């Protein structure tokens, strides 16, 4: 038992009960289906703009790019172009690798003493793999959800959906009957990856030690989103036509509450709204932050280009020439040497 | 001294013009991407499709199972039917009220719902579902003896 994740779990359970009972017992479809989604979207956009502009306003007094390879120096020394980018073009490549492949996470190593006194570095690949699976599965899930927000559905989104349900997984026994509608791989990968990221935080002692409720809360929330989504698609079967009517109503500013969607849908929607509204003010904002990290987005050309601190105070200097100009006569009187007579 | 303070405060709020351009461009791009559904539909509401039942379907009043069940589970039922016919060569389905049906998409389902374009396709298109049933089972079922 650990209070840090118990608080987060409790928070998500309370949110679940709020939405479930709010719709099922209190009949607050209007609140959970229309008001909260709009508030969440506005909070998300305003929050992202606020956070990014805050970072943009922050001065960068020093060039602090992290150097992960040989810097460009003498002509016969081979520089590591993308791990130690010298030009803006190389920085762009580094950023693309960082954003799309999580390159710095791949570099994660664990060291240990082996055979008595040898220090060994081992590639610690599981976090990188889990993170890749998580982020790309989430991206796929978001893209294919656009089928519920667009009419007609763009061919591109249909294609993503087709690829996602490429594997025909079918289990038809007396107990479990899944297979139709087609199984989306992304949903299962998302659920598995978020579970892995959670287990990692409670199993590895030093990761557990630094984990805070703010680390667990998004994991539980995303688990809840994926879980309710999978529940609705394969088990409790939400009315997809009504769900799309609600979604399209929201995005076309003609909001409606269709009949008979069921409380699980509202729980799913509420979780997503909480995630959206929470996003800009949490660690999840690394989505925007990764682009604005000075350790990533500055070129490592410190030996060639001088970085001027933008808020350097203009220091008033009194040069020797000015000094001599001021005191020349007195200096000559006292017999001190002067440069100009 | 106070001069220096004001100078620092004011100056911390300026950022390099060159970076500002990129940051704002990125922000605008992201917001445009995020609000894609809002401008893609350009404010047009698209209510769900109206289904047309054939006379034969209207006459029958109820499908093999109640409407609510069929609406949610028809794909599951068809999958179970297929399993039953293809694997177990059992092609008679008896519903809870004791009525027997031949398990056949072409000869049972599409017999009543012969208007695929105005019945099946309406919702499938709306929800962007492409069932692979109709890869083989074509619109107007032809009796294959």
Same domain, B35 and B63: no
Residue A105 lies in a domain: yes
Q: Contact at 8 Å (CB) between A67 and A84?
A: yes
pLDDT top residue among A247 and A179: A247
Q: Which of residues 140-159 of A touch B (CB under 8 A)?
A: 146-151, 153-154, 157-158
Give the Cβ contact number of residue A249 at 10 Å.
19
Would you state the pLDDT for residue B7? 45
Same domain, B19 and B84: no
Task: Collect all residues with Cβ–Cβ distance below 8 Å to A1 and sequence separation of at least 6.
Answer: none
Residue A321 lies in a domain: no
pLDDT in tens, A28-67: 889 999 999 999 999 999 999 999 998 888 878 888 998 8
Quote the minimal CA–CA distance from B44 to chain A in Å: 6
In whole angstroms, give the CA distance from residue A53 to residue A58. 9
Residue B142 lies in a domain: no
Would you state the pLDDT for residue A149? 92
Whether residue B15 is predicted with pLDDT greater than 50 in this model: the reply is no
Residue B145 lies in a domain: no
In whole angstroms, give the CA distance from residue A253 to residue A248. 8
**Closest in B23, B40, B49 to A56, CB measured:** B23
Give the structural domain span for A180.
3-307
Whether residue A8 is predicted with pLDDT greater than 80 in this model: the reply is yes
Same domain, B131 and B60: yes
Closest CA in chain B for residue A153: B128
Query: For residue A166, what is the DSSP state?
Result: -
DSSP chain B: -HHHHHHHHHHHT---HHHHHHHHHHHHHHHHHHTHHHHHTTT---PPPPP---HHHHHH-S-SS-HHHHHHHHHHHHHHHHHHHHHH---EEE-TTS-EEE--IIIIIHHH---GGGTHHHHHHHTT---GGGGTS-SSPPP--
Same domain, B6 and B36: yes
Quote the minimal CA–CA distance from A194 to chain B in Å: 23
Q: What is the mean pLDDT of chain A?
A: 90
How many domains does one find in chain A? 1
The model's pTM: 0.86
Residues in A closer than 8 angstroms to B11, CB to CB, are 59, 310-311
- Residue B68 CB-density burial (10 A; 0-12 exposed, 13-18 middle, 19+ buried): exposed
Residues in B closer than 8 angstroms to A151, CB to CB, are 41, 46, 126
Looking at chain A, list the stretches that DSSP marks H as alpha helix, in order from N- to C-terminal side: 3-24, 29-30, 36-57, 88-101, 103-106, 126-145, 155-164, 185-203, 205-210, 213-230, 240-251, 263-278, 286-289, 294-297, 320-333
Whether residue B6 is predicted with pLDDT greater than 80 in this model: the reply is no
Same domain, B25 and B73: no
Task: Collect all residues with Cβ–Cβ distance below 8 Å to B138 and sequence separation of at least 6.
Answer: none
In whole angstroms, give the CA distance from residue A91 to residue A85. 5
**A247 half-sphere exposure, CB direction, 13 A CA radius:** 24
Q: Which of residues 56-75 of B touch A (CB under 8 A)?
A: 71-73, 75
ipTM: 0.84
pLDDT in tens, B24-47: 999 999 999 999 999 988 777 777
pLDDT in tens, A160-181: 998 998 887 788 777 777 777 8
Residue B140 lies in a domain: no
Give the Cβ contact number of residue A250 at 10 Å.
20
In whole angstroms, give the CA distance from residue A233 to residue B129. 13
> The CATH number of the domain where A36 resides is what?
1.20.950.20
Residue A314 lies in a domain: no
Residue A114 lies in a domain: yes
Residue A257 lies in a domain: yes
Residues in A closer than 8 angstroms to B129, CB to CB, are 181, 240
Same domain, B59 and B91: yes
A78 at B interface, C-beta within 8 A: no
How many domains does one find in chain B? 2
In whole angstroms, give the CA distance from residue A38 to residue A281. 18
Are B26 and A244 a contacting pair at CB < 8 A?
A: no
pLDDT top residue among B70 and B143: B70
Q: Contact at 8 Å (CB) between A134 and A197?
A: yes
Residue B141 lies in a domain: no
Residue B29 lies in a domain: yes
Q: Which of residues 79-118 of B touch A (CB under 8 A)?
A: 79-80, 83
Task: Collect all residues with Cβ–Cβ distance below 8 Å to A89 and sequence separation of at least 6.
Answer: none
A43 at B interface, C-beta within 8 A: no
Would you state the pLDDT for residue A196? 95
Give the structural domain span for B15.
2-40
Residue A41 lies in a domain: yes
Q: Which of residues 251-270 of A touch B (CB under 8 A)?
A: 251-254, 256, 258
Q: Which residue has the tokens 């994926």?
A: A226
Residue B114 lies in a domain: yes
Are A177 and B72 a contacting pair at CB < 8 A?
A: no
DSSP A172-220: ESSS-EE-SSPPPHHHHHHHHHHHHHHHHHHHSHHHHHH--HHHHHHHH
């Amino acid at each position: 038992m650990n209070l840090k994740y118990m608080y987060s779990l409790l928070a998500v359970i309370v949110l679940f009960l709020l939405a479930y009972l709010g719709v099922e017992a209190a009949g607050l479809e209007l609140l959970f289906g229309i008001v909260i989604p709009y508030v969440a979207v506005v909070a998300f956009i305003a929050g992202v703009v606020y956070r990014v502009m805050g970072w943009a306003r922050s001065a960068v007094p020093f060039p602090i790019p992290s150097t992960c390879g040989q810097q460009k120096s003498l002509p016969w020394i081979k520089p590591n172009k993308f791990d130690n980018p010298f030009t803006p073009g190389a920085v762009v490549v580094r950023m693309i690798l960082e954003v799309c492949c999580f390159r710095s996470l791949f570099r994660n190593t664990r060291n240990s003493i082996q055979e008595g006194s040898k220090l060994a570095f081992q590639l610690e690949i599981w976090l990188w793999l889990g993170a890749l699976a998580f982020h790309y599965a989430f991206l796929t899930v978001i893209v294919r959800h656009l089928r519920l927000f667009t009419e007609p559905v763009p061919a591109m989104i249909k294609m993503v959906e087709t690829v996602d349900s490429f594997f025909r997984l079918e289990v038809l026994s007396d107990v479990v009957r899944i297979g139709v509608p087609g199984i989306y791989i992304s949903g299962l990968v998302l659920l598995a990856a978020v579970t892995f990221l959670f287990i990692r935080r409670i199993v590895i002692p030093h990761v557990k030690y630094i984990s805070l409720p703010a680390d667990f809360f998004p994991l539980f929330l995303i688990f809840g989103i994926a879980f309710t989504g999978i529940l609705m698609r394969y088990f409790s079967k939400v009315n997809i036509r009504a769900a799309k009517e609600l979604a399209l109503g929201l995005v076309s500013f003609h909001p409606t509450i269709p009949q008979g969607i069921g409380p699980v849908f509202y729980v799913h929607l509420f979780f997503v709204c909480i995630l959206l509204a929470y996003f800009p003010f949490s660690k999840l904002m690394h989505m925007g932050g990764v682009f604005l990290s000075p350790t990533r987005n500055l070129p490592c050309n410190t030996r060639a280009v001088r970085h001027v601190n933008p808020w350097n105070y203009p220091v008033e200097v009194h040069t020797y020439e000015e000094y001599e100009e001021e005191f020349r006569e007195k200096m000559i009187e006292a017999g001190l040497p002067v440069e100009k007579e | 001294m106070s001069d220096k303070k004001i100078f620092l405060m004011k100056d911390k709020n300026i950022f390099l013009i060159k970076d500002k351009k990129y940051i704002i461009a990125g922000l605008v791009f992201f917001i445009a991407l995020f609000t894609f559904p809002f401008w893609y539909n350009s404010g047009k509401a698209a209510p769900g499709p109206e289904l047309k039942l054939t006379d034969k379907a209207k006459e029958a009043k109820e499908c093999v199972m109640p409407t609510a069940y069929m609406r949610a589970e028809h794909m599951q039922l068809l999958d179970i039917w297929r399993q039953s016919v293809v694997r177990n060569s059992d092609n008679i389905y008896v519903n809870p009220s004791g009525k027997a049906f031949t398990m056949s998409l072409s000869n049972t389902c599409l017999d009543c719902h012969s208007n695929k374009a105005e019945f099946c396709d309406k919702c499938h298109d709306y929800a962007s579902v492409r069932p692979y049933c109709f890869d083989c089972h074509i619109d107007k079922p032809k009796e294959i003896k």
